[in-house]
Structure 1
Amino acid sequence: MKLRIRYVFSFLLVIFALSAQSQIKIGEWREHLPYQKAKSLLTGGENLYCLTESGLFSYSLSDNEIAAYSKTKGLSESEISAIALVESSQSLLIGYESGNLDVISDGNIHNISAIKNFNLVENKSINSMTANGNFVYLGTDFGIVVINLDKMEVADTYFIGAGGEKLVVNDIKINSSAIWAATDQGIFKADLSSGNLADFNNWEQEQGISEYQRKCEHLQFIDGDVIVSRFVSETASELYRYRNGSWSNFFGSLDRIYSIRNINNSLWVIQAGKIRIFNSNGIENEVLEYSGITEMHDALVVDGRTFAADYQKSLQEIIGSRANQIKPDGPLSRNISNIFSAAEQTWAVDGGVTASYDGSGEKAELFLFENQEWTNYSKENTPSFSNKSDLLRLTNNKRDRSLIYAASWGDGIFVFKDNEYQVNWNFENSPLGTKGISGMDSDSDGNLWILDANSSAPVKILSPVGEWTSLSYSTLANRADMQKIVCLKNGDKWVLNSPEQALFAFYENGTLSNTDDDALASFFVRDENNSSIGSKVYDLIEDEKGDVWLGTSSGVAVYMNPGNIFRTGNFFAYQPIITIDGSTQFLLGTESVNAIALNGADQKWLGTANSGVFLISENGDEQLVHFTNENSPLPSNTIQRISVNPGTGEVFFVTDKGMVSYKGAVTAGTESYNNLYVYPNPVRETYHGDVVVSGLIAESTVKITDISGNLVMEGKSGGGQFIWDGKNFNGSRVHTGVYLIFCSNSDGSKSKVIKLLFIH
């Protein structure tokens, strides 16, 4: 039996590991989650499983392979609350905060949604899972649920409180005679021989502990005794022992206990900075402390190797006096506040601002995704981030795209060139104030335009040669609620303030030192009938045609001629009209649109507050895609930010529950065919996906012929890619041979031919 278990769980690991390592294809997804905050561990076969605040991953003890488990790999949800391994059925169980349950067995994922669908007002989170034969007992926020793994269904539900009261059950343990439950109201027990455990009368509350109704968190058996850890405060716990029918204090007052384990018939008590090891009589035999591990939440010993789950540093293998970190690749935070993409890079930050416009205190960290992996900048590798906080805004220099700017709330702007830190502009070495940077954008000349919060000169400009200019506009002066500045192609600058406030636009007229001749406008978003379009504005972006798109509380508003803002007469926005299922309506007119991003074909990705994300056509009159957390790996329908990587076509979605990305079919067009290529090449007989021609000039004509010159397919690229399904005009897969791909720009002035080997 043990050999079979080891084989099955190793097989599961391979499934997840392979998909995690490979570059994603068009139409595929991947998650971008942090795995620092490790909470619990378990072992199965040759694998160690680590549950973190953001997700689950496994570590192969034989070959050191790391694999992440997520919605992109087939799981039902993203908010995992408990995990368990069931030896009898060779199953990995994954429980969720919603009450949903996934059972992974024989390489398949089975979902049991009955708890999630229970008609209960109470929370349904699965807090713990304990197997007894082929039945699994789930400790939930309302009681105990029994799962029959043979039938993959709920077998029973126990409401164990007095009178059938619903109780939060934190842990369950089963011995030969009884089932024990640690709840928010103490310890409850039922004899297995008592018959109907769904009858609350068969459950007893253990009253032999002083203040017996206090919250208990963990249970463990050792030498026939029952050990309980009881919550006292966020910093303190107590241990009690049940022996020969009576309770006693197992040990004096202790620092907060995060887990208790029976390891080699010793009681391991896991605390933040140490492991205390007791024998069954409460004698402390050893205290283990490890340098650098300060927030330990769990620990295990597997084949003589010691592992710890640290809430700051993820899974750690302890070797002598040192610890090695083990975790999947990812950014350091899932609370991404801003994201920016350029070339083939995507940058992200996680700072925050409170409702009163004070910094949230998030330590300064910057995350870069490039070449399929994350590079994290923190005080450990970027000393200038020490004692700095709340990076909030990101942009690059449009003239020198190797320059990246990361702006903070209170600590100025950090400049990186070619991924290396250069300088921190702040109140000590520049005109920047001390409050924070509300927004920034670069114009085509390489000037960085900055919104300086709570300043009498709220607009600052940093020239490419390092010269500073300050502009005073009374409308923006001394404001902390500015959100975003966008430099338009026509030279105008638009400023988005707090969602319910007016927008502001200005044109400096080429005289930075003189604001008297500037054109200024402050305005709310209205249509041609002077009716408001949405009471709030959340995002502002300029598309490739020069139109300005706004995400509002009532869908989308578009200014087709933004340069008219400074002219006399009517200046109004319009709402795109779209037909869906025969119904003509304003584009997302009933949705709050939080985020807008463009792909290489000028199509718009629209992120909403409650309904996921939409891809619409260039003009907004056709819905192309609609992703939700029900039909895609999106962890949530609340979309906060979107960024499209122009070089790869990968679309990053920031939600309130973490970040995922989707490989779109469109990349940005290039200026030449110097980097033209096709993949996969060769196309093997076993491959039945899309063939991608990449590195194209936008709107290229692409013709594919066989070696004799017979045309098998032709079309136009939307951006920098052309997608071919490997079939001819008749819909049949083309024959084995060498194919020529002819590419030319719209006026025929540039062209190139590349070859493709196709195996039928």
Structure 2
Amino acid sequence: IPPIGQWREHLPYRSAIGVLAADEKIFCATPYSLFSVDTDEQSIERYSRMTGLNETGLSCMAFEPVSGKLLIAYVNSNIDIIYRNDIINIPDIKREVVTGDKRIYDAAAIQGDFFLSTGLGVIRVNADQYEIRSTWIIGNGGTQVKVNSLVLFNGLYHAATAEGLKKVSAANADPSFFGNWEILSGQNGLPAGECRGLVVANNSLFAMVGDQVFVLGSNGQWSLIQESPGWSFNSISPAGNNVLVCQSQPGQGRVLEINNSGSVLNSFQSGLLVPVSALRQNNLTWVADQANSLIRFDGAGASSFRPNSPDSIALGGLFASNSIFWASAGSRAGANNKNGLFQLAEGEWKNYNGRNFPVLDSLSDIVTVIADPKTDTAWTGSFGGGLLRITSGGELTIFKQHSPLSPVLSAPGVYRVAGLAMDRDDNLWISNDGAAMRLQVRKKDGAWLSFDPPFSTANRSMGSLLIDGSGQKWMISPGGNGLFCFNDNNTPDLPSDDQWKWFRQGGGQGNLPSNRVLSLA
């Protein structure tokens, strides 16, 4: 990645949320970023705030083929339109103070304009003037309603809404008036309830209701053509005269290609876990997968396209040593975050987690990391799964059961390492949250010693750890318990000269401005 002044972007590209074709490029959106694949050269281009986009969190995309304009909608309802070498921002929806759900769930290019499916209703964007043309509030009784998708079929706008499938004539002078819309769900074979998606293919209209796909026949009746018990339906999209159905279940995903009668013509599965969007271009099938980025299927099999990047955002600790940068993905929230640890060395990211190293599958919520500059050995702490050592050669060792590390007193199988620091003698100090002995040290020779603050705190909480220039160990006690300081007088083997101090709010107790300490530096 070339430097931008003194800044570079390192956004995650593993989780894809959408894919579309635009001229000779395939665009793939992630929750944080956007990239494209040149279909001729197979080269990848990244787009972010570093290249002129106005936001980071993407929601959906749409391409208008006649003008060549690409619309990007963000989770905060801001909009960018990429046209040639320009990026035009339309912030109107973001800035508008509205009670309700302004999120843009889908976008479609119809008759030269962009139609946004939002939590309010339908918003039409003038693609030539780069402005909002109109807003359609089409819920029952004129209320707001979430719209999942909108298509034009046989001269009628069809909207997939939380109240069901609705239609109005495209020639209607006032599609913004709810009374002009007709509800189609709950009759002629189409179930009542939310309509989740719409597709026009082979002169037919397809609707996704729950985990089923229906097609509208020439007689005005709807027919169920696809259901797969045990599979969740994530989206439907056109593929020439056919329809692509993205499905998933725990541990696997697939994309089915079906025709009007529901016959399965193809099933794409290799590399898919949670496919959420798919398209067909030039006999190639492209799939956006929430776990495995962008995958292309051709006659020879499956190919993966993903810019080198960390697997996810870094919520935990950061550390840099000898031109090697480490970032951890987890937090103390205990969200079972298994995205692990990320290493940047010589311009390339390497991801340490259960997806790439099965032995690490039990290490969730990695919150802290440190590296020994003399050996480049990294140490990282899991808030539940113990301590991990990664040698410069890539050898992995986990410390929890059958090690001096202590489990949480109230949860014997849980080993929380919340902070790490290395002293001048190359001893590794460990903040062991919730344990009987909350401060551990692994000495340079491999021997362990255990200590515990002589203070009673709620949940025996221990957090980030820092060693100052005098060798004193400073530890946060999360939950509004202030700060501990431990001075072993640089003789960890001699407990008789150890000293502890508890810093809290108030005179005579350290006079901290607050007992809620967030970080140390």
| Structures share fold, TM-score greater than 0.5 | yes
Question: Which SS does the other structure have where 2:179 is aligned?
Answer: helix
The match for 1:635 is none
What is the aligned partner in structure 2 of residue 297 from structure 1? 276
Query: Match of 2:232, as an amino acid?
Result: R
Q: Aligned match of 2:102 in 102, 120, 124?
A: 124
Counterpart residue number, 1:471: 451
1:454 aligns with 2:430: no
CA distance 1:368–1:492, shift in 2 (3 Å):
same
Q: Which residue matches 2:410? A: none
1:293-692 equivalences in 2 (<5 Å): 293-320=272-299, 322-354=301-333, 359-363=334-338, 365-397=340-372, 400=374, 402-418=376-392, 420-433=394-407, 434-475=414-455, 479-525=459-505, 533-541=513-521
Deviation at 1:279, TM superposition (A): 2.4
How many residues align? The count is 508
1:40 Cα offset (Å):
2.1
Distance in 1 (CA, whole Å) between partners of 2:339 and 2:128 is 50
Partner of 2:59: 81
CA drift of 1:504 comes to 1.2
Deviation at 1:353, TM superposition (A): 3.2
**Tell me, what secondary structure is at the counterpart of 1:194?**
coil
* 1:62 lines up with 2:40 in the alignment: yes
**2-side partners of 1:403 and 1:526: how far apart?**
41
Is 1:239 aligned with 2:190?
A: no
CA separation of 1:370 and 1:132: change in aligned 2, threshold 3 A = same
SS of the aligned residue for 1:72 comes to helix
8 Å CA contact 1:40, 1:52 repeated in 2: yes
1:264 aligns with 2:240: yes
Q: Which amino acid aligns with 2:23?
A: G
Deviations 1:305-359 (A, max 9, x none): 22222221110122457422111121111252222222322101112334xxxx4
- For 2:98, give the aligned amino acid: L
Q: Deviations over 1:623-675 (max 9, x none)?
A: xxxxxxxxxxxxxxxxxxxxxxxxxxxxxxxxxxxxxxxxxxxxxxxxxxxxx
Distance 1:377 1:175 in 2: 48
Q: Which moved more, 1:76-85 or 1:269-278?
A: 269-278
CA contact (8 A) 1:442 1:449 kept: yes
1:206: Cα distance to partner? 1.3
Structure-2 separation of matches of 1:95 and 1:307: 21
Pair 1:41-2:16 in alignment: no
- Contact 1:364/1:385 (<8 A) preserved: no
How many angstroms apart in 1 are the aligned matches of 2:256 and 2:337? 32
Amino acid in the other structure paired with 2:401: F
Is 1:148 matched up with 2:122?
Answer: no
Say whether the 8 Å CA contact 1:458–1:477 is kept in structure 2: no
Please report how far the alpha carbon of residue 91 of structure 1 lies from its aligned counterpart in structure 2 after TM superposition.
0.5
Deviations 1:171-210 (A, max 9, x none): 0101341111101111111101221222222211114256
Kept after mapping to 1: 8 A contact 2:504/2:511: no
Q: Match of 1:164?
A: 142
Q: Is the contact made by 1:413 and 1:426 (CA closer than 8 Å) also made in structure 2? A: yes
Describe the SS at the equivalent of 1:216: coil
**Structure 2 equivalent of residue 655 of structure 1:** none
Distance 1:119 1:520, change over 3 A: closer
Amino acid at match of 2:277: D
Distance 1:74 1:506 in 2: 49
Q: Does the Cα contact within 8 Å between 1:348 and 1:394 map onto a contact in 2?
A: yes
Shift of 1:468: 1.2
Cα distance in structure 2, aligned partners of 1:468 and 1:457: 12
- C-alpha change, 1:212 and 1:289, in structure 2 (3 Å) is closer
Q: Which runs of 5+ in 1 are unaligned?
A: 1-20, 232-236, 542-760
Quote the offset at 1:538 in angstroms. 0.7
Structure of higher CA gyration radius: 1
Structure 1 residues 88 and 176: CA distance shift in structure 2, 3 A: farther
How far residue 532 of structure 1 moved from its aligned partner, in angstroms, is 5.0
Cα pair 1:438 1:481 within 8 Å, conserved: no
> Cα–Cα, structure 1 residues 477 and 416, in superposed 2: closer, same or farther, change >3 Å?
farther
Q: Whole-Å Cα distance in 2 between the matches of residues 379 and 528 of structure 1? A: 48
Q: Distance in 1 between matches of 2:150 and 2:405?
A: 61
**2:141 alignment partner, SS class:** helix
Q: CA deviation at 1:451?
A: 1.6
Instruction: Tell me what 1:628 maps to.
Output: none
Distance 1:33 1:507 in 2: 40
Which stretch shows the higher mean deviation, 459-468 or 332-341?
332-341
For the 8 Å contact 1:290–1:322, the answer to whether it is kept is no
- Does the 8 Å CA contact 1:471/1:512 hold for their aligned counterparts? no
Q: What percentage of residue pairs aligned between the two structures are identical?
A: 25
Q: Within 2, Cα distance between the matches of 1:283 and 1:212?
A: 18
Query: Any unmatched runs of 5+ in structure 2?
Result: 408-413
Contact preservation (8 Å) 1:456, 1:477:
no
Deviation at 1:223, TM superposition (A): 3.4
Alpha-carbon distance between aligned partners in 1 of 2:288 and 2:382, rounded to the nearest angstrom: 32
Is contact 1:472-1:515 (8 Å) kept?
no
How many Å separate the matches in 2 of 1:430 and 1:532? Answer: 33
Q: TM-score, normalised by structure 1?
A: 0.63
Structure 1 residue 140: deviation in Å? 1.0
Three-state SS of the structure 1 residue aligned to 2:94 is coil
Partner SS state of residue 32, structure 1: coil
The SS at the match of 1:163 is helix
> The residue matched to 1:116 in structure 2 has which SS?
helix
Partner Cα distance (2:458, 2:94) in 1? 49
Question: Is residue 421–residue 428 contact of structure 2 (8 Å, CA) maintained in 1?
Answer: yes
Cα RMSD for the two superposed structures: 2.5
Look up the match of 1:225. 204
One-letter amino acid matched to 2:520: L
Amino acid at match of 2:324: Q
Residue 383 of structure 1: CA displacement? Answer: 4.6
Equivalent positions of 1:249-288 (< 5 A) are 249-251=223-225, 253-254=227-228, 255-272=231-248, 273-280=253-260, 282-288=261-267
TM-score w.r.t. the length of structure 2 is: 0.91
- 1:422, distance to aligned residue in structure 2 (A): 4.7
Cα offset, 1:421, TM superposition:
2.5
Answer yes or no: is the 8 Å Cα contact 1:408–1:436 preserved in 2. yes
**Within 2, Cα distance between the matches of 1:468 and 1:432?**
12
Alignment equivalent of 1:105, drawn from 78, 83, 88: 83
Q: CA offset at residue 287 of structure 1?
A: 4.0
1:665 alignment partner in structure 2: none
Counterpart secondary structure, 2:37? strand
Residues 489 and 526 of structure 1: CA distance in aligned 2, closer, same or farther (over 3 Å) = farther
Please tell me whether the aligned partners of residues 368 and 376 of structure 1 are also in contact (alpha carbons under 8 angstroms). Answer: yes
CA distance in 1 between counterparts of 2:378 and 2:481 reads: 29
Deviations 1:557-602 (A, max 9, x none): xxxxxxxxxxxxxxxxxxxxxxxxxxxxxxxxxxxxxxxxxxxxxx
Q: Is the 8 A contact 1:382 1:421 kept in 2?
A: no
Distance in structure 2 (CA, Å) of the matches to 1:92 and 1:475: 60
Q: Is the 8 A contact 2:244 2:256 kept in 1?
A: yes
In the TM superposition, residue 423 of structure 1 has moved relative to its aligned partner by 2.7
**Equivalent of 1:193 in 158, 164, 171:** 171
The residue identity in structure 2 corresponding to 1:266 is N
Segment drifting more, 282-291 vs 122-131: 282-291
- Cα distance in 1 for partners of 2:467, 2:475 equals 9
3-state SS, counterpart of residue 157 of structure 2: strand
Q: Deviations over 1:210-269 (max 9, x none)?
A: 6854111111123332110012xxxxx122222336232322533322222222312222
Residue 476 to residue 240, structure 1, CA distance change in 2 (3 Å) = same
